[in-house]
Structure 1
C-alpha cells in the first residue's frame, strides 16, 4: 500500500478545515469526537461505514477523496480503468498501447482480475486495428469471457468488459447480451457512466449487425443511438450514429435517405473540426468510429 494511505486522517482534517466544519459536525453520530480526533491524527482507522458517513457529512464523494488523497492523481488501477472507460469506439493505436502499458505496469506489481481483463481487451483491439485480425482478437476476448461467464450478475465494470468483446459472440448471442445489458443499465438512471455505456453498446451492436448485413435490425439500434446521442449532446457520437443510419438505409436501397444521413454527419464533423471523419464518411463510412471496420469481412463470415 502506498504511503499516502497512512495520511488518511490528515487529509480529512485539511478538507474539514477548508470547508469550515467542526469535528463535532462531521463526526456527529458516526463516532465520538475523541475517536474522531484520533482519526485525524492517523492514530486509528475507521471502518468503511463510518468512513463513508464522515465523507457524507463533509459533502465529499469517496472517489474525489481518493483522488485528493493521491495528490490529485489516479492510482495505478484507477488509471487503467480511466483509460479503458474513456477509450473511443475507434481508438488511436497509440491510445491502445498506452492502455496496454498501464495495465502491464499494474500487473507487474500485483495480480488484479479486472486489469487482466482490460489488458486482454486492449490486446484484442490492437489485433483488430493494427493487425486487422479478428481471429487473434477473439482469442484475447475469450480469455475475458471465460471469467465473466462464471459470474451470477454483472455490474458497471463487467458491462464495460462485455461491451468490449461483443464481436466474440455469434450474432444472435451478441444481440441477446446487448438487450439484457441495455435493460439492466436502465436501473442506473442517475449514472452518467451508465448512459455513456448504453450509447457504446448501441454503437457496437449496430456495427456488428451492419457487418452481417442485418440492416433492418441494425436500424432499430441505430435509431436509438441517434436519438440518445442527440438528446445527450454527444456530437461525435451523433455524427457516427448518422453514418451508421446511412449505411443501414443504403443497405435497404433507400439511397436518398441514406445520402441525407451521410450529409448531415459530414456537416457535424466539419463543425467539430474532424475532417478525418468527414473524409471517411465520404470514402469508407464503415471506418467511422468503428473498431470492426477493417475486419468486417471476417466478422461477416464468422
Structure 2
C-alpha cells in the first residue's frame, strides 16, 4: 500500500475533527494506526476498509480524494476517459497524448487499452473505419480469451461496440450482461450496462434487423424514462420516430421526432440538438441503405 495513503487518511480524519483512537477503535492499536498515518507501516486491505467505515467514507470517494491529493497521472487519464460521453475530438487527442507519455515509462495494460480505444474513436471521426477496427480488435482479442470481465473491461468494450459485426456485438453484449450479474447491486450498474443495449440498436439497424432494433429501443427508452435520463430519452425517441417512419410512414412518427428536438429545446441543450441532428442523419443513412 502506498505510504501516501496514510497522509490522505490523516488529512480526512483531522478535517472531521476525529481522534486517532476514534478512527482506529476496534481495528488496530492506536500506536500502529499512528505509524500508518506517518507512512512507517503498511496495513491489510481489510483493516483499511474498516478505517474507511469509521471515517464514513466508501472506497470510491476515498480513491477520488486520493487522486486529487496525489495528482495521479494514471488516475487523471482514467477519470477523463470515463467522463467521455460522445466522440469529443479535443478530449480524445488529449487522452492519446497523456496516455502516450504515461506509457513511455510505465507498462500498463489498462492505460494501453484506453489509448487504443481513443485512437479507434479518432479514426471513426475521420471515417477511417478499417483503421478504427484494427485498434478495437486489439482489445477484443484479449477479452475474447477471458472467462471473466470486470467493470474496466466492460466500459472499454462498450465504447467501441459499434465497430464490430452485429453477430460479434450481440455475443459481446450477451456475455457482458451475464458478467454484470455479479454487479447487480453496484451503484453504477445501470450506468455501465444500459449503454450496451443502447449501442446494440445501431448494430441491429445496420444488420437490417429493423423489428429487433425497434423492440430493443423501446425497452431501453422505457428504462431511460423511468430514470428520467432525458438526453437518452430524446435520442431513443428520435430513433423510434425514424424507425416507425421507415416502417409505416405515419404522421405520429413525425411527432416523435418533434418531441425529441423539443426535449433539447426545453433543456436549452445545444449540444444535444447537434447530437440529435447527427443521429438523424446517421440512422436515416442506414435505413435508406436497407430500404
Q: Settle same-fold status: TM greater than 0.5.
A: yes
Normalising by structure 2, we get a TM-score of: 0.87
Answer whether contact 1:262 1:281 (CA < 8 A) is retained. no
Which residue of the partner structure matches residue 231 of structure 2?
236
Which residue of the partner structure matches residue 115 of structure 1?
111
Answer whether contact 1:96 1:126 (CA < 8 A) is retained. yes
Which residue of the partner structure matches residue 217 of structure 1?
212
Normalising by structure 1, we get a TM-score of: 0.85
Query: Does structure 1 residue 9 correspond to structure 2 residue 6?
Result: yes
Among 50, 54, 58, the alignment partner of 1:53 is 50
Among 40, 43, 55, the alignment partner of 2:37 is 40
Answer whether contact 1:133 1:295 (CA < 8 A) is retained. no
- C-alpha separation in 2, matches of 1:42 and 1:194: 35
Seen in structure 2, the aligned counterparts of structure 1 residues 144 and 279 have a Cα distance that, compared at 3 Å, is closer
Give RMSD over aligned pairs.
2.7
Unpaired runs of 5+ in structure 1?
288-292
Which residue of the partner structure matches residue 196 of structure 2?
201
Among 246, 264, 274, the alignment partner of 2:241 is 246
Among 241, 253, 256, the alignment partner of 1:261 is 256
* 1:120-161 alpha-carbon deviations (Å, 9 max, x no partner): 1111111111x2121111111111112111211011111112
Seen in structure 2, the aligned counterparts of structure 1 residues 266 and 64 have a Cα distance that, compared at 3 Å, is same
Higher relative contact order (CA 8 A, sep 6+): 1
Report the CA distance between 1:13 and its aligned residue.
2.3
Partner SS, residue 188 of structure 2: helix
* 1:91-131 alpha-carbon deviations (Å, 9 max, x no partner): 221122122122223212301111111111111111111x2
Unpaired runs of 5+ in structure 2?
none
Partner SS, residue 109 of structure 1: coil
Seen in structure 2, the aligned counterparts of structure 1 residues 284 and 59 have a Cα distance that, compared at 3 Å, is closer
Seen in structure 2, the aligned counterparts of structure 1 residues 112 and 7 have a Cα distance that, compared at 3 Å, is closer
* 1:62-103 alpha-carbon deviations (Å, 9 max, x no partner): 333333334447522222222222211x32211221221222
Which residue of the partner structure matches residue 97 of structure 1?
93
Partner SS, residue 57 of structure 2: coil
Report the CA distance between 1:50 and its aligned residue.
1.5
Report the CA distance between 1:284 and its aligned residue.
6.3
* 1:146-204 alpha-carbon deviations (Å, 9 max, x no partner): 21112110111111122123234321231232133234435433434321122321221
Which residue of the partner structure matches residue 268 of structure 2?
273
Seen in structure 2, the aligned counterparts of structure 1 residues 48 and 281 have a Cα distance that, compared at 3 Å, is closer
- C-alpha separation in 2, matches of 1:218 and 1:178: 14
